[in-house]
Structure 1
Amino acid sequence: MKYKSNRNIVFSCSYHVVFCPKYRRPVLVDGADELGFEIIEMEVMPDHVHLLLSVDPQLSIHRTVKRIKGRSSHDLRAEFPWLKSRIPTLWTNSYFVSTMGGVSLAQVRKYIEDQKEV
């Protein structure tokens, strides 16, 4: 297990996150990095995204997912203007998040990698 630290704390907080575009439309392309967290693994499917994130515990997972969705929506709409008229709201309000708990990082990485086959 790898620990990180900031000025006040030492932590290891990893999350598996899955979210979908509105109506599960196949509009996704590979994403970009954000500040305040690290994307350990990512699998972008045509109609959903799997992320394995390392998040500073002072930044809530809800705020992190909100940042990812907001930034990716902005960037995708700038690159693909047709999305503005086809899907007024790019992401659904819902998402799945699971802490790593008793599962190893390698197991979650393998699961995300295996999603390419589905």
Structure 2
Amino acid sequence: MTTLNTLHHCSYKIQLHLVACTKYRRKVITAEMRDRLGEIFGDTLRKWEGELLEFNGEADHVHALISINPKTQPSKLVNNLKTVSSRLIRKEYPEQVAQFYQDKPVFWSRSYCVISCGGSPISVLKQYIQQQEAID
């Protein structure tokens, strides 16, 4: 049974898979930086009334499974996650980041991938909707 979150006038469960890549896919992220990025994403999501469900990544990208509420615009959230984490990572790991980007104020690529996930597969939802009785 799926547990739903609620607001005043709705019930919801919105989960997204976010993939963010470093600028030029440079392999700048260390294990320590990855852990810190997970903390930053979690803190930022709480401010947006969301939740970080899972976080991991490699040297040139990260994956985050996040839960958001219906008031949240995904593109604005992703922009904020990337802006905040870039600023803090560049501040906390200046030597590591400078090896790849010199003094440029960059960390993340402008692009990202966000995919909705969770719940029933599309085929099951389609079948359920098709089986609803028509109103005469």
1:100 to 117, 123, 126: 117
Does 2:94 match 1:77? no
Deviation for aligned residue 1:6: 3.0
Deviation for aligned residue 1:78: 1.0
Give the letter for the 1:13 counterpart: I
Helix, strand or coil for the counterpart of 2:24? helix
Q: Report the identity percentage.
A: 29
Q: Which runs of 5+ in 1 are unaligned?
A: 104-118
Which residue number corresponds to residue 51 of structure 2?
38
Give the letter for the 2:51 counterpart: E
Give the letter for the 2:56 counterpart: E
How many pairs are equivalent? 103
Deviation for aligned residue 1:85: 7.3
Give the letter for the 1:15 counterpart: L
Structure 1 residues 89-109: Cα deviation after superposition (integer angstroms, max 9, x where no partner)? 211111111111545xxxxxx
1:54 to 53, 67, 70: 67
Mapped partners of 2:59, 2:100: distance in 1: 16
TM-score under structure 2 normalisation? 0.67
Change (3 A) 1:92 1:3: same
Deviation for aligned residue 1:44: 2.3
Mapped partners of 1:80, 1:72: distance in 2: 12
Deviation for aligned residue 1:63: 1.1
Deviation for aligned residue 1:45: 1.3
Which residue number corresponds to residue 108 of structure 2?
91
Q: Which runs of 5+ in 2 are unaligned?
A: 122-136
Give the letter for the 1:74 counterpart: R
Deviation for aligned residue 1:71: 1.1
Please report the RMSD computed on the Cα atoms of aligned residues, expressed in angstroms: 1.8
Deviation for aligned residue 1:12: 0.4
Mapped partners of 2:98, 2:83: distance in 1: 14
